[in-house]
Chains A and B, each alone.
Chain A
């Protein structure tokens, strides 16, 4: 399948700094692609290049197999992080204007808008001015105008900011629905929880360079450090003694007679070997492999650490 978007060796320089250095990405169609990176890494520069707001100094971008050209803007929906609407303009009028700028015909725009307004139960906002709406309400309108023209590629930069949990869920469901209808979504965020929940693939950009990409599942697998968490009833000293040279105890905590330990497997030893060794002296309550969260991976990769801090990780 042709990738919906292919970024090839993009360079972008500003007067006093390099924004992007030889960045390449492939975004598969009908996937949710997470574009991650710390502040100032170059995400916005890359997104602006994809939106043809600015151009790259070197490199090229292919959209659906074609060289990126002005007419492609009508197939892209962009929700910038720094977003807003005309405060003094009525909601409906404004939505009509923005829809037409994306190439929709007046009549089509109206029908589609009415559909979305009904879906979000905001029909009575049509004649209200934007400044009369709350921040969350404005965000809803903004989301609608971003997706209204049914773009093939949707670029959402921090789409959940300004939403309460209920509306954030509403938007999440819409994003999944759009994907099932054929849209590809590039999702830029700092919220790693939502990355694990939403993204199929990610790319991590740091200091103008791509330092990591791939599917979320694969990446998390790669960054596993072969550590396990075991809860058991019994004697902690006996347990420790029964650990043979194939495993190392990293942490321990106790709650009355229930103990929780984190154990790192050394060499090629399998979890079963460990279980066999300890099972005689303890009553095992749970046994989990510790898979690093995207948050851990993000921090470790960006800070260029080799070992992961397992303290904050969660189990799978």
Chain B
């Protein structure tokens, strides 16, 4: 036991003290923070103010289009040529001419003159705002009560409700469930591949260094294998933990310090836009898509509330750990059977195939979480760590979850035992290229 602890200790510290660990630990969160922050920053970059001179011959729009942070409207009179001169002189960035018949025409076509092309958002803003103004104007012209229309329009959002055993109905949302399931499954997948491969490399290193025979004269080969697997697992957990902490710290810092002003502005602008959109909602059903945005985030949070978080968190910890342990043992066995990393290919595919298969069927599982396919693969130990994580947010009967966990533990014990047998023989075999047949024979050697 003491010796196992020594091995774990060495495996852990020799990796954590490496420069590459430090680099990965810092780069990971920077990358993550980058992914989160860059789009926001990109969106805020377009800060040029557009001064628009509006030449409204119809008179309907004068002083009606609200200014935004990006666009400032100035209304005036005169000829279009005079206005164009102003544009050329650089007094304004844009000149818009609205035709006298704008109110009555079937289609209104304001002309926007520019020297430098404005962004799409500018055009869209003007378009939307003018449409709304026209819409209201026409309705009022027909003496239709705007309030009535607003009352008549009601958004529809389907709420799916799961009827549970204990009689308590649960509101669910498939999209949220899928998002949670997939992110957790990906975390497990990354853990298995990243750190499973590290176990394999560690075994190959010991074998090619020829230190392995020295060590197995002091400890049992199985102890060495287990020590390596556990040591690397702790490296993985440390890395994940540091990533989470650093990502939160960095993004909080960036949000709080660097982007503070911009975000506040953005929020204000967003609210303003929302106001405009709201008018839109009452009138144009096809514009509803756009308004959903703020609601969606809210409903995601709502749904998060409804999911059994404790169950998911605990199950995630379980599948994360045991999924890794099972595969790490197999990776260790591969490492022991070869002389160099280049030779691992022939053994890698059968080991990674169940993992890849898990993701191939994950989509199907998410669409129909209670199908026989989903049930089988969420219980089969080689695929359950990923498939069960995808299924879990949709709700899984307790007996299925227990069965899946039990079979994963049994699978872990079985594959570790199997890997131990291959490992024990493999680490002392040199030179010969190992075949599958030979691997099979190793299983029956007497320890």
Contacts from A to B (Cβ < 8 Å):
14-15, 48, 51-55, 57, 70, 73-74, 76, 78-80, 82-89, 97-98, 100-102, 142, 145-146
Contacts and interface: CB of A to CB of B under 8 A. Distances in A.
A73 B428 CA distance: 18
A15 B441 contact: yes
Contacts of B219: 73, 101
Given A86-B211, A97-B6, A97-B10, A80 B445 contact: no
Nearest to A87: B209
Contact of A51 (B217, B424, B441, B447): B217
6 contacts: A55-B446, A78-B213, A83-B213, A84-B210, A85-B211, A102-B218
Instruction: Name the interface size band of chain B.
Output: 20 to 34
Interface string B409-447: 000000000000000100010100000001001001111
A57 B10 contact: no
Top 8 A-B pairs ranked by shortest CB distance?
A: A84-B210, A101-B218, A78-B217, A80-B213, A15-B441, A84-B209, A51-B217, A84-B211
A85 B218 contact: no
Contacts of A97: 6, 10
Given A53-B216, A54-B447, A88-B14, 17 more contacts: A14-B445, A51-B217, A53-B213, A53-B221, A53-B428, A55-B446, A73-B217, A73-B218, A76-B217, A78-B217, A80-B217, A86-B209, A87-B209, A101-B3, A101-B7, A101-B219, A102-B218
A61 to B, nearest CB: 14
Contacts of B445: 14-15, 54
B214 interface: yes
B213 A82 contact: yes
Q: Which label, helix, strand, loop or mixed, suits the secondary structure of the B interface?
A: helix
Q: Chain B CB within 10 Å — which of A51, A55, A80 has the most?
A: A80
Contact of B217 (A14, A53, A55, A89): A53
Contact of A57 (B3, B221, B446): B446
B447 A55 contact: yes
A115 B444 CA distance: 45
Nearest to B220: A70
Interface string B7-45: 100100010000000000000000000000000000000
B433 to A, nearest CB: 16
B267 interface: no
Contacts, number: 73
Nearest to A77: B217
Q: Chain B CB within 10 Å — which of A14, A54, A88 has the most?
A: A54
Nearest to B213: A80
Given A15-B441, A54-B447, A55-B447, A83 B211 contact: yes
B214 A98 contact: yes
Contacts of B206: 86
B298 interface: no
A85 B213 CA distance: 10
B249 interface: no
A82 B430 contact: yes
Contact of A101 (B6, B428, B438, B441): B6
B215 interface: yes
Interface in B282-300: none
B428 A48 contact: yes
Contacts of A86: 14, 205-206, 209, 211
Contacts of B218: 73-74, 98, 101-102
A55 B438 CA distance: 19
Contacts of A15: 438, 441, 444-445
A101 B209 contact: no
B14 to A, nearest CB: 7
Contacts of B209: 84-87
Interface in B167-222: 205-206, 209-211, 213-221
B231 to A, nearest CB: 13
Contacts of B210: 80, 82-84
B214 A78 contact: yes
Contacts of B430: 82
A21 to B, nearest CB: 16
Contacts of B7: 101
A103 B198 CA distance: 28
Q: Chain A CB within 10 Å — which of B6, B213, B217, B447 has the most?
A: B217
Contacts of A54: 424, 445-447
A15 B425 CA distance: 12
A15 B211 CA distance: 25
Contacts of A142: 214
Contacts of A48: 428
Nearest to B430: A82
